Amino acid sequence: MAAGFDPSGRLPDVFTNAGTSSFTSFLSQVAPEMLPGRRPLPPGMAADLAPHATTIVAISAAGGVVMAGDRRATMGNLIAQRDIEKVHPADAYSLVGIAGTAGIGIELMRLFQVELEHYEKLEGAMLSLDGKANRLASMIRGNLGAAMQGLAVIPLFAGFDLAAKDPARAGRIFSFDVTGGPYEETGYDAIGSGSLFARSALKKRFRAGLSTDDAVRLAVEALYDAADDDTATGGPDLTRRIYPVVMTATAEGTHRLTDAETSAVAESVVAGRMENPGG
Amino acid sequence: MAMQFYASPEQIMRDRSELARKGIARGRSAVVLSYAGGVLFVAENLSSALHKVSEIYDRIGFAAVGRYNEFENLRRAGVRMADLNGLSYDRRDVTGLALANAFAQTLGAIFTEQSKPFEVEICVAEVGATPDDDSLYRNTYDGSVTDEPGRMAMGGQADAIAGVLKSNHRPDMSLGEAVKVAVQALGSVGGEGGAARSIAANQLEVAVLDRNRVGRTFRRITGAALIALLDGGAEGEAADGDRAKTPTTPTEEAHKPTTSAGSADLEDKPGNPEA
C-alpha cells in the first residue's frame, strides 16, 4: 500500500473522506506516482523508447457501436508485438481503444476502467456516457507533458448511451487529442498511424443505420485498408491466425467477438481482396 | 476548584460498548449466508436508494447495520482500498481478509481514541469456488473480527435471528430456499407478542455474490425477480435479467424525495403496516 497509515492503524482520512467519487482524484492524494502524468521525465525526446500501438476504428451501427483494432505494435521500423490487444471494454456499456505509446496507453486504460467502476460502486449509479468521455479527456490532458516529449497516448472512446432518446443514436463515438477533448464524431472515426487510410475507406463505405454484422465487416475492411498502406498497422495474419480484436457495445452490454467469428470475417475480407485488391 | 473525577479505563470502555450496542440493537437487522450458488445478503431496509448491502470488489460484498453515515464512511474506504490494491497488483490479489483487517483496525482505533464509538456492525463476505471456500468476516464496533461459519446475523435481536438461521441453514441450498430461510429468520423477531411476522419485498434489500460469474459477481435482486423468489416461483433464473438494469444511469425517473436510511433505521418502532 502506497499510503502512509497513521500509528493508530486506522485507515487514513483520505480513504474515509466523503469528498470525491473519482478514483484519479483519490490517487492523486494517496499515490500520485501511480498517475501517468505525475511522473517527472528527464528533458529530451523519448518517442523511440517504447513500442507504439496503431490503428483503431469505431463505427456506430443501428443497435450500438462497433470498435476494432489491429494487433501490431511497432518500435521504429521493427514490429514489437504481433498480437497486442488495444481494444478493451471500459465498463459494461462502453469501449476504449488506445493508440500511441503502448505502455502508457495500457496503464491509462486500466486506470480509466477502475475510474468508471469506482464511481459506479461509490455512487451506486453509472456515469453518463458524456461524463465518461469528459473523464477520459481530463486523464489524457494530465499526460500532456509526456506527450510533448513524444510519449503521447490518444484513445478512441465509444459506447452505448443508455439515456439516448432515439435508439438509433445510442451508439456514440468520441475522439480526443493530446490536450484532451472530447470531440463527438458522427458515424465513424479512426485513430492511429493508419487512421488516414481507415477513415478514407470508411468515408466511402459507411451508411447510417448499418446492422452490427455489416459494421463489423466494414471495420475489418477499414483495418485491411489501413494495413495495406501503413507499415505500422498489421493486417489479418492468416499464417499465425492473429485477427483484429472486434468488440461491440449494445443494449445488452459489451461483447468481444470470438476468435472463430473474427477469423471468419477476416478470411472473407481477405478472400474478397483476392478478387479485387482495392476492396 | 474543579472536582477531578476519576473514571477507570474499564468503566470508559464499558460505557462506550453499551452505547454502541444499544445503537446497533435499535436498527433493523441483516443476515448473510452461503448457498450453493454464492453468498446471499438480505437486509431489512425501507429505502431502495440508501443501501445497507453493497459491492466492494469482484468477489467481495459488504453488509452493515447501525448508523448509515458511519458505515457508509467505512464502505467508501473499503472500495477505495480495494480499487487501489487491485490497480497496484492484480484483481485477484484483493481479498476479504485484508479488508476485514483494515476495518478492524479503523473501528478499533475509533473505539479507543474517540469519545463516541461507531455504532455499526459490518460483514465483509468473499465468495469462493465452493460454499466451504466462502469467507464471512464480522467486524464489530470495538475492532474485533470473527470468521463466521457460512452464516451470520447482525443488528437488533441478532442472537434470536442467528438461532433460527442456524437451525434452518444448509450450505447446499438453492437461492430460492436461501432467501426464504433468511427472510423467515429476519421475520422471527419483532412481531406482535413475539409472533413471527411477514416482511414484504419492498422492505427488503437482497443481493448476491454469484459464485459462477466471472469478474464482478455482485448483483442486486429487486422488483419482480425478488417477489418471484419470495413467492417461491422461479428460482434464481428470474433474477438473471436484472443485471443489465442495475446500476443504471440517472434518468428522469430519479426525481423522488429522499429518505434517510439512518434515521428510518434508528427509530424504535418500525412504522410499517405489515409489522
Q: Which of A151-160, A234-243, B132-141, B185-194 has the lowest mean pLDDT?
A: B185-194
Q: Cβ contacts (< 8 Å) between B77 and chain A: which residues?
A: 11, 15-16
Dig out the grid coordinates for B243 from the structure: 443485471
Is residue B81 pLDDT above 70, yes or no? yes
pLDDT band at B7 (very low <50, low <70, confident <90, very high): confident
Residue of B nearest to A253 (CA): B244
Number of A–B residue contacts, CB under 8 Å: 87
Going along chain B from its start, the domains and CATH numbers come out as 12-241 (3.60.20.10)
Out of A16, A24, A54, A258, which one is annotated catalytic? A54
The answer to whether the complex's ipTM is over 0.90 is no
Q: What is the pLDDT of residue B1?
A: 61
Answer yes or no: is A253 within a domain: yes
Q: What is the pLDDT of residue A14?
A: 84
Dig out the grid coordinates for A200 from the structure: 478514407
Q: Does B142 touch chain A (CB under 8 A)?
A: no
Q: How far is A140 from chain B (nearest CA, A)?
A: 18
Q: What is the pLDDT of residue B257?
A: 34
- CATH code: domain of residue A158: 3.60.20.10
CB spacing of A34 vs B251 below 8 angstroms: no
pLDDT in tens, A131-153: 999 999 999 998 888 888 888 89
Answer yes or no: is A100 within a domain: yes
Helices (H), A78-211: 102-123, 129-141, 144-148, 195-205
Residue of A nearest to B62 (CA): A121
Q: What is the pLDDT of residue B255?
A: 35
CB of B120 within 8 A of CB of B64?
yes
Task: Report the pLDDT averaged over residues A211-228.
Answer: 94
Is residue B21 pLDDT above 50, yes or no? yes
**Measured distance CA(B77)–CA(B105) in Å, rounded:** 12
Name the domain count of chain A: 1
pLDDT in tens, A21-44: 899 989 988 888 888 877 778 887
Is residue B89 pLDDT above 60, yes or no? yes
pLDDT in tens, B180-191: 999 999 998 877
Q: What is the pLDDT of residue B4?
A: 74
Q: What is the pLDDT of residue B47?
A: 85
Dig out the grid coordinates for B7 from the structure: 473514571
Distance of CA B77 to the CA centre of its chain: 16
A54 is catalytic: yes
Q: What is the pLDDT of residue A49?
A: 76
CB spacing of A253 vs B56 below 8 angstroms: no
Most confident region among B46-55, B229-238, B242-251 by mean pLDDT? B46-55
* Residue A135: half-sphere exposure toward Cβ, Cα within 13 Å: 25
pLDDT in tens, B30-65: 999 999 999 999 999 988 889 999 999 999 999 999
Is residue B265 pLDDT above 70, yes or no? no
More confident of the two residues B245 and B166: B166
Give the residue from A147, A153, A189 showing the smallest Cα distance to A172.
Answer: A189
Task: Report the pLDDT averaged over residues B261-272.
Answer: 37
**Measured distance CA(A121)–CA(A130) in Å, rounded:** 18
Cis peptide before A182 (omega within 30 of 0): yes
CB spacing of B77 vs A125 below 8 angstroms: no
**Measured distance CA(A191)–CA(A194) in Å, rounded:** 7
Task: Report the pLDDT averaged over residues A4-11.
Answer: 65
Answer yes or no: is A265 within a domain: yes
Is residue B156 pLDDT above 90, yes or no? no
Q: Does B258 touch chain A (CB under 8 A)?
A: no
**Measured distance CA(A7)–CA(A23) in Å, rounded:** 25
Largest CA distance in chain B: 74
Answer yes or no: is A31 within a domain: no
Which residues does residue A175 pair with via DSSP β-bridges, in sequence order? Answer: A156, A183
Answer yes or no: is A45 within a domain: no
Answer yes or no: is A29 within a domain: no
Q: What is the pLDDT of residue B267?
A: 38
Range of the domain at A58: 50-275
Q: How far is B50 from chain A (nearest CA, A)?
A: 9
Which own/partner pairs from B213-222 qualify as long-range (CB within 8 Å, at least 24 positions apart)?
A: B215/B58, B216/A117, B216/B55, B216/B58, B217/B38, B217/B58, B217/B59, B217/B127, B218/B54, B218/B55, B218/B61, B219/B243, B219/B246, B220/B53, B220/B246, B221/B179, B222/B48, B222/B246
pLDDT band at B235 (very low <50, low <70, confident <90, very high): very low
Q: How far is B250 from chain A (nearest CA, A)?
A: 7
Answer yes or no: is A162 within a domain: yes
